[in-house]
């Protein structure tokens, strides 16, 4: 149901899933949790890694749903990010976290270690008029605020106005996509 809604409303070229697209409406699990003032990783993360072994591109949205530590604690954030940076390096994966900024600012929430451990950071902001009021535009301003891989070369600079939400859907009937509950895949009841 959710995949069809996304396909019909957002994607204009269809979805190329290579094999499978995992989109879950189920509650997420915390990859780490604090116990007796120390951080431990959740065994479900290991199960998820096994299930996603052949998946090269992973998007976790929102980051905070997978984070079980103190959001403002750099030590917790470093340990959390290390789990994913090691996984990405060991299995040649691209892992993207969607993380939200604080209200009415472009600063990301939480510990700076979340940004420090990232190789590239993009910020997406609404278009504002000359009075600073948000417009009802299909465009957004995308800013590349951290660029360890010289992504700006391919992005065309460090700030760009781009269409995020197409005004109309080009493909009315997307490819049939298999909906798989990540909880079912991980054997979580």
Encode the chain (189 residues) as per-residue pLDDT tens digits: 555 665 555 555 555 544 556 666 667 899 998 888 888 999 999 999 998 898 888 999 899 999 988 889 999 999 999 999 999 999 999 999 999 877 655 566 788 999 999 999 999 998 989 998 988 788 889 999 999 988 888 888 899 988 876 666 544 444 545 555 666 666 665
Phi, psi for 127 (deg, rounded to 5): -75, 135
Tell how strand 32-35 and strand 159-163 pair up: unpaired
pLDDT on residue 18: 45
Q: Give the C-alpha separation, 120 to 95, whole Å.
A: 11
Q: Give the C-alpha separation, 68 to 85, whole Å.
A: 17
Q: Give the C-alpha separation, 77 to 34, whole Å.
A: 12
pTM tops 0.85, yes or no: no
CB 144 within 8 Å of CB 121: yes
CB 31 within 8 Å of CB 60: no
């Amino acid at each position: 149901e959710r995949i069809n809604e996304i396909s019909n409303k957002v994607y204009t070229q269809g979805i190329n899933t290579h094999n499978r697209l995992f989109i879950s409406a189920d509650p997420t699990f915390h990859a780490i949790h604090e116990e007796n003032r120390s951080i431990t990783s959740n065994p479900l993360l290991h199960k998820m890694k096994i299930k996603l072994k052949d998946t090269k591109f992973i998007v976790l949205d929102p980051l905070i749903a997978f984070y079980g530590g103190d959001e403002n604690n750099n030590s917790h954030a470093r340990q959390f990010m290390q789990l994913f940076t090691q996984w990405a390096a060991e299995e040649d994966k691209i892992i993207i976290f969607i993380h939200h900024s604080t209200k009415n600012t472009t600063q990301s929430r939480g510990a700076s270690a979340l940004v420090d451990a990232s190789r590239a950071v993009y910020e997406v902001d609404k278009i504002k008029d000359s009075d600073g009021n948000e417009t009802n535009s299909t465009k957004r301003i995308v800013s590349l605020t951290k660029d360890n891989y010289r992504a700006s070369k391919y992005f065309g600079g460090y700030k760009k106005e781009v269409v995020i939400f197409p005004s109309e859907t080009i493909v009315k009937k997307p490819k049939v996509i298999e909906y798989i509950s990540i909880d079912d895949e991980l054997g979580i009841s």
